[in-house]
Structure 1
């Protein structure tokens, strides 16, 4: 380990107790307030198009009597949803009001069995493909239901009007979804049409996003070598288009990733940048995973380092921790802690395992009997709850809930301890929870899968 990285780690470990206390101080807050949802694959912002000239024409009116309309007015979210979504996730030249108006207009004209209504969106209502695209992205990111159905139809409409960003997004969505969802009668025709468009586009346009999507397709089909080649081509072309040489000093990037994990100072390393193409993070992440399976650890590490240090992708920090490139437990825990604090379930699970192993090693060097240490036990239990997977430790759901309440009560009163019993095939940990009575005697043992 380099001297600078060791210095970073030593400084951080002096303050790790303070970080843990901050976590414990928030134990009483609702879990939903503590976790910010971060998708490993969708963390980066997608800048799909240039700003457009705003057009304002007719106000949308819903024709309730028309039986051919695909959607009702109430199928779209209300204005409040858009006002909350747009400032955080949308482009800076679209307001919540504009996105709400576009969605309402779409629901008022979209008809089944016809496409003559599509040009009306821009001709009559001034809703261009750029606005349609971003409104659809907002709806697709939500839970399944009518709003998502509206969003996919909006995305398909923009794609059918030759808007390339929407076509690529529809292709990406088809790669994320399983076959059952893609063949759903609600969406099957749209995905089939988009696939034909994409194949035609790929034959005429050489683009890093298209190459990335082709690589993801090959990976999904189990063609690792083909996927690796396509991802490498995308990276080469993306770097050529950007005109910026990649960083190759591995030690420098390793120090930078530990600085980010230790200080959580985004951009503090001077390397943070915008993606060179929309799906760059996806490309590097999946290439890295393929390289890991092929045994090319150093090459995989480089891809994850770029995603972590230059693109600030949380999942990349997790992959680096799993590679254990520093061969240092403190470094591994810091990387896991960074991602776990963002609510990543896998990071929480791995962090729990590291803490349990550390606890077991500490107790193995002590002559005293194992007993509960309230702060450490509470912290450990907190991460277990954030991991949120108790699996099938008990087939009886009511019994499981009863046991969880029992363990939680024991932890709060300093009468519980935990031991790692093993690792399941699905990657979860077998954890034994001992509950003590007021005399310090073992009252019950509860097995959990975390």
Structure 2
């Protein structure tokens, strides 16, 4: 580049009268391709410096000019922002370029078709302030923009609110333009379901603080949080039924399982005691006290071995797993050792040892052995009465009706409850004595086999 030559009257190294003649400097300037990109000495190429002040753009922006001030005349150094934008971002259409007569900072931007200003000439028309600029069109097509270049100012003296500026950098929604897209967004906002705010809160979005409730609203909310009487009553009824069900389950377990265990233990101890007394000679045939064991019944087919006690008391005899002998009042029956009579006994069919649970399986001819201190008495099953009334006491007579016996003899009668797990009726089994064997001769064949 050709150096600038001094003019007449100047002092210093560029004083007039140097080696080159006049007009050389002007010819060199005219040969420059772009005076903006190839500035003269002392000028600035950065867009952050303003032509009229020589200061950075951010410093000059702090003292914006108003429309009431005098127009600014460039001081010989003028730079074209539109040309600078074209050089950096390419050609700009009429939509993306600034409107005619707008200002960027304090530099005047001529509109399309306006004559290019001449350096040193005054700016055409008055200069408007920064707040009097029109909105930038097509801002979304610009790669990098500062806040000032994106700011859409209001016309001078207008009360319209300033448009939002941070939606491109902060992620907010763009200003409402009243277009189709804006109406669709508004419609989606009105149609949002009630559960979407909760999902937004769960996703991490900040929730709006709840408005404080009044005292009346707080009382209503507290009453609504309390359970109604119907709910409380239903819970109480449910707990009662659950408790009752647990108690019933425990009772059934006790009746069907634990009573049998306890009765078997008691009956086993009583059987051992009777046998020990017989071995020691401490017992003698005769009259026995109520609840006292005096004999042992064997039913080989049913694998039954149970002690026989005097009386049919439920607590003292039957519930202890023993078989009771009818021996009181009108229900008194003969003993096995009697030469004639009916030896009648009773026992539980279910629970408490249930010694007569399966007597319905006996068939005619099956042996029933009564063991005493002196002898073994063997009976054979003769007949069965599946069901009869509990008040039918004739079944234990000396010659029971319905048993098939026609005259006096030595008989045995077994009585128990039926159906199972109830005491509504009685089941009767009859038998006839077929053998009497002293203990000295050993056990009968029914027990040996």
Q: Does the pair score TM above 0.5?
A: no
Taking structure 2 as the reference length, the TM-score comes to: 0.18
Taking structure 1 as the reference length, the TM-score comes to: 0.18
Query: RCO (CA 8 Å, sep 6+): is it higher in 1 or 2?
Result: 1
Higher-strand-fraction structure: 2
